[in-house]
Amino acid sequence: MLDINMFREHADIIRADHDKRGLPHDQIEEVIRLDDNWKKTRYDADQLRRRRNEAARGIAEAKKAGNNDEMQRILTEVASLGEQIDALGVEANDMENARDSLRMKVPNILHESVPMGGNEDGNTLHSKHGIKKEYSFEPKTHNILVDQNNWVDLPRAAKIAGSRFYFLKGDLARMELALQQYAVDFLTGRGYTFVQPPVMMNRTAYEGVTDLGDFETVMYNVQPEGFYTIATSEHPLTAMFMDEVMEPSMLPLKMVGISPCFRREVGAHGQSDKGIWRVHQFTKIEQIIISKPEDSWNLHEELLTNCVELWDSLNLHYEVVNICTGDMGTVASKKYDLEAWLPGVGAYKEVVSCSNCTDYQANRLKMRYRTSEGNESVHTLNSTAVATSRALVAIIEQNQTEDGKVEIPKVLQPYMQNQKILESCNW
């Protein structure tokens, strides 16, 4: 959510941003109009309250002095003021609510380095990494390989849960665990604090960190408590300091989170989403930073560097893409994606998303830090380190051998008793 002062003092910046995104200005103008009316109504109500407070001070005196008539006169006046105040108060409240629910929908201001573009075709190449292997055979897609090796059981998962759920079995499940441990070790080694969050959140906290549309399409709602299962540990870790004033000495706060991630994936998806590429549940190791505003752009690059060095160490081929204006979501100001090469599919596909959300989440969450000038919103940043299901797909496709097995990345081998090859599961 953008600061209300942005609408009051720099509406032109928001308008220019909407132009970049190809959005109309209606919402901006409506926020400004509602805010204007709210201020006037609010002021009128405050003035009436002031009169009531002044009048009420006379009551005790009149009572003490035994002046019953005067007391009655004041009581009548105060009662009538009270009615007016209540009416104005309701009006002001409605306007403020309307203003803010609209304000919640206005997206973050894009960073100047975000490339222009109408959709994902406008994303620009930032850098290429690793070696694109040549195969002496026709590389297979991961869903064929996991099937041949009995590493994934989709039909039985569908039977007991539903489509897009899976059982991970045998060596592939072991490598999933190895990936988790490796990624956590990698980032704790760089000063990030390992945190395991709750995997369910309440609505209020969740509204602070996500696009409101996600409540209908992304998160599961758990009854009877009404909790939402998290779509990523970014959400609990970012909301962790909701409603708090943080000490500047804590910043930047760097965390590495791990959690299962739950996604409803409402809507149809294409043929390429076979196997375990797009699933309702997966494990993700996530980087989170809460920082002072002046540090966030450097830290955004640090997050990307961490990703690049982590994925390089897995010896995978991928590209880093700078997400363009038309493909950016509501919350991020700038976003890099890592797209891994899938030789079976013959395409680069998204495996990591690295965002600077500036003060957008912090404003909603009322997360501030102390400065000598007062309290200011912090900045929040997040980046995937490894989403295990998708990292597995990339490893399976890139490291496949002619006989349909998969070589284990060197850095993961110590976590798997120095095994070199993933063996098939025999059932």
Partner RNA sequence: GGAGGGAUGGCUGAGUGGUCGAAAGCGCACGACUCGAAAUCGUGUUAACCCUCACGGGUUACGAGGGUUCGAAUCCCUCUCCCUCCGCCA
Token pair, residue 244, equals: 């708090």
Residue 192, number of CB atoms within 10 A of its CB: 20
Percent helix, strand and coil across the chain, each to the nearest 5: 45, 20, 35
C-alpha dist (Å) from residue 247 to 128, 143, 192, 195, 298: 39, 49, 18, 20, 20
Q: For residues 52 and 274, which CB has a smaller minimum distance to RNA in the complex?
A: 52
> Judged by CB under 7 A, does residue 223 bind RNA?
no
Cα 360 to Cα 208: distance, rounded to the nearest angstrom: 9
Among 22, 53, 222, 414, binds RNA (CB under 7 A): 53
> Judged by CB under 7 A, does residue 226 bind RNA?
no
Tally: H helices and E strands in the chain: 13, 18
Cα 336 to Cα 123: distance, rounded to the nearest angstrom: 9
Q: Which residues of 244-256 are buried (b: 16+ CB within 10 A; e: fewer)?
A: eebeeeebbbbbb
Q: For residues 154 and 378, which CB has a smaller minimum distance to RNA in the complex?
A: 378
> Judged by CB under 7 A, does residue 39 bind RNA?
yes
> Judged by CB under 7 A, does residue 50 bind RNA?
yes
> Judged by CB under 7 A, does residue 127 bind RNA?
no
> Judged by CB under 7 A, does residue 292 bind RNA?
no
Q: How far is the CB of 206 from RNA (least distance, A)?
A: 15
Cα 228 to Cα 222: distance, rounded to the nearest angstrom: 6
Q: Are 383 and 356 in contact (CB under 8 A)?
A: no
Among 13, 375, 401, 404, binds RNA (CB under 7 A): 375
Segment contacting RNA (CB under 7 A): 45-53, 144-152, 167-175, 412-420?
45-53
Cα 378 to Cα 371: distance, rounded to the nearest angstrom: 11
> Judged by CB under 7 A, does residue 4 bind RNA?
yes
Among 69, 112, 121, 247, binds RNA (CB under 7 A): 247
Q: For residues 31 and 157, which CB has a smaller minimum distance to RNA in the complex?
A: 31
> Judged by CB under 7 A, does residue 245 bind RNA?
yes
> Judged by CB under 7 A, does residue 59 bind RNA?
yes
> Judged by CB under 7 A, does residue 372 bind RNA?
yes
Q: For residues 59 and 173, which CB has a smaller minimum distance to RNA in the complex?
A: 59
> Judged by CB under 7 A, does residue 370 bind RNA?
yes
Q: How far is the CB of 27 from RNA (least distance, A)?
A: 19
Among 10, 15, 21, 49, binds RNA (CB under 7 A): 49
> Judged by CB under 7 A, does residue 425 bind RNA?
no
Q: At what angle do helices 388-398 and 170-188 cross, to 10 degrees?
A: 110
Q: For residues 112 and 247, which CB has a smaller minimum distance to RNA in the complex?
A: 247
Segment contacting RNA (CB under 7 A): 40-48, 144-152, 396-404, 413-421?
40-48
Phi–psi pair at 250, nearest 5 degrees: -75, -20
Give the distance, in angstroms, between the CA of residue 258 and the centroid of all CA atoms in the same chain. Answer: 14
Q: Which residues of 155-166 are buried (b: 16+ CB within 10 A; e: fewer)?
A: eebeeeeeebbb
Residue 413 gets which letter from DSSP? G
Cα 38 to Cα 50: distance, rounded to the nearest angstrom: 18
Q: How far is the CB of 83 from RNA (least distance, A)?
A: 12
Site for RNA in 74-93 (CB under 7 A): 75, 78, 82
Total residues in contact with RNA, by rule CB under 7 A:
24
Pairing of strands 406-407, 379-387: unpaired
**For residue 284, what are the β-bridge partners?**
259, 387
> Judged by CB under 7 A, does residue 22 bind RNA?
no
> Judged by CB under 7 A, does residue 47 bind RNA?
yes
Q: For residues 83 and 216, which CB has a smaller minimum distance to RNA in the complex?
A: 83
Q: How far is the CB of 43 from RNA (least distance, A)?
A: 4
> Judged by CB under 7 A, does residue 46 bind RNA?
yes
Q: Which residues of this protein are in contact with RNA, per CB under 7 A? A: 4, 39, 42-43, 45-47, 49-50, 53-54, 56, 59-60, 63, 75, 78, 82, 245, 247, 370, 372, 374-375
